[in-house]
Amino acid sequence: MQKFDTKQLNDVVNEAYEKIKGDDGGNNADYIPFLAKVPSKLFGISVCLPDGEIVEAGDTDYVFGIESVSKVPTAILAMQQYGADTILQKIGADATGLPFNSIMAILLENDHPSTPLVNAGAITACSMVKPVGNSDGKWKSITDFLAGLCGSPLVLQDELYKSESATNFNNRSIAWLLKNYNRIYDDPDMSLDIYTRQCSMGVTARQLSICGGTIANRGVNPVTKKKVFDAELTSKIVAMIASVGFYEHTGDWIFTSGIPAKTGVGGGIVGVLPGVMGIAAFSPKLDGSGNSVRAQNAIKYITNKLGLNLF
Ligand code: DON
């Protein structure tokens, strides 16, 4: 992997911002009313290096919905609480090749819900988070862990949570289908509520890059210097992100960017290059598969320009 200095990184991040801010492709997510209202022009890029240095451009302080990126922290937390092998056995680490909210994936792969990075596996992961049977306790485990990864607490976006809760009929079906197959380990409605709440947390591009930086730095937050999770879980979570971070388009993503990354319909994407950086970008307009157009272009521009292809 090519070496770069911080000045070069700073130049490339600013270049990416200037070149890509005018891209106008895509549309805000509209299946969750709150997301449709976020100003479309917002755009931020943030990079967190293993020594804690942050390099950034644009709207990196704007708080947006973390959405599916939240599946990554909860997957790490579940592995930290149970061990990676138990998560492999109870949830899995397979790509589904299908959209994030696929019910067909549950029916096709009938021994586990595939991976904690799609809705079914994420709801199962929420059901497993300890203390089982205690909604407040689970929520504290998740929010404390998120704060550790991101270096500061995330705040629930109440309007987003209400909006998601009122429209999550497909996810309700997933939770109860998991119950039908004995693949959920706490009350289905409570597990789904925890999942919906974690998706509704507000996050900034800077916080997301620190989250990526903590994973890249093998579990030690580069900014706070605190240990958040065991180092050996880094290769496990990065393998999961690399195999399904962009759902059915993960192959195209990794082919063109060379960096494992996880998307969310709030417009955020976080990428992880172990030992090198966490990189996040945010902009609300999404392509047809629910991935931010500007955020994808920015991360690809930076990794390609700096020769940071993991492979
Ligand atoms: O499950 C859902 O519908 C949302 N709360 C999260 C979706 C999401 O971000 C999918 N990923 N791109």
Name the DSSP class of 187.
-
Distance of CA 308 to CAs 44, 206, 297, Å? 20, 20, 15
Give the pLDDT confidence score for residue 180 in this predicted structure: 93
pTM of model > 0.95: yes
Which of 100, 115, 161, 292 best tests ligand 1's pocket when mutated (most atoms within 8 Å of CB)?
A: 100
Q: List residues bridging with 57 in a β-sheet.
A: 45
Assess whether pLDDT exceeds 60 at residue 100. Answer: yes
Dist CA 148 CA 219 (whole Å): 10
Angle, helix 205-216 to helix 135-150, in steps of 10 degrees: 80
Q: Map out the domains of the chain as residue ranges.
A: 6-67+202-305, 69-199
Of all protein residues, whose CA lies closest to atom 7 belonging to ligand 1?
A: 68
Given the CA of residue 122, which atom of ligand 1 is nearest to it?
1
- The CA 264 to ligand 1 mean position distance, Å, reads 6
Taking all residues of the chain, what is their mean pLDDT, rounded to a whole number?
96
Give the pLDDT confidence score for residue 196 in this predicted structure: 98
Assess whether pLDDT exceeds 60 at residue 2. Answer: no
- Cis, bond preceding 131 (omega within 30 deg of 0): yes
Assess whether pLDDT exceeds 90 at residue 164. Answer: yes
Dist CA 83 CA 35 (whole Å): 35
Mean pLDDT, residues 49-64 taken together: 97
Ligand 1 pocket residue status of 67, Cβ below 6 Å: yes
Confidence grade of residue 1 (pLDDT, cut at 50, 70, 90): low
Name the DSSP class of 220.
B
Assess whether pLDDT exceeds 70 at residue 246. Answer: yes
Ligand 1 pocket residue status of 157, Cβ below 6 Å: no
- The CA 119 to ligand 1 mean position distance, Å, reads 7
First to last CA, the chain: 9
Binding-site residue ranges: 68, 119, 164, 171, 195, 247, 265
Give the pLDDT confidence score for residue 188 in this predicted structure: 98
Tell me if 6-67+202-305 shares its fold with 69-199. yes
Assess whether pLDDT exceeds 70 at residue 109. Answer: yes
Assess whether pLDDT exceeds 90 at residue 289. Answer: no
Given the CA of residue 171, which atom of ligand 1 is nearest to it?
1
Confidence grade of residue 3 (pLDDT, cut at 50, 70, 90): low
Dist CA 145 CA 139 (whole Å): 10
Give the pLDDT confidence score for residue 111 in this predicted structure: 75
**Domain over 6-67+202-305 is classified CATH 2.130.10.10:** no
Given the CA of residue 266, which atom of ligand 1 is nearest to it?
9
CATH for 69-199 (3.40.710.10, 1.25.40.10, 3.40.50.1970, 3.30.70.141): 3.40.710.10
Helix (DSSP H) and strand (DSSP E) numbers for the chain = 14, 8
Dist CA 26 CA 202 (whole Å): 22
Mean pLDDT, residues 287-293 taken together: 92
Mean pLDDT, residues 224-232 taken together: 98
Mean pLDDT, residues 128-156 taken together: 98
Which of 38, 101, 163 best tests ligand 1's pocket when mutated (most atoms within 8 Å of CB)?
A: 101
The pLDDT > 70 percentage for the chain reads: 99
Dist CA 147 CA 154 (whole Å): 6
Confidence grade of residue 139 (pLDDT, cut at 50, 70, 90): very high
Which of 66, 68, 165, 195 best tests ligand 1's pocket when mutated (most atoms within 8 Å of CB)?
A: 68
Ligand 1 pocket residue status of 119, Cβ below 6 Å: yes
Binding-site residue ranges for substrate: 68, 119, 164, 171, 195, 247, 265
Assess whether pLDDT exceeds 90 at residue 133. Answer: yes
ipTM (interface predicted TM): 0.98
pLDDT tens digits, 173-217:
999 999 999 999 999 999 999 999 999 999 999 999 999 999 999
- The CA 1 to ligand 1 mean position distance, Å, reads 32
Confidence grade of residue 34 (pLDDT, cut at 50, 70, 90): confident
Confidence grade of residue 78 (pLDDT, cut at 50, 70, 90): very high
Mean pLDDT, residues 224-246 taken together: 98
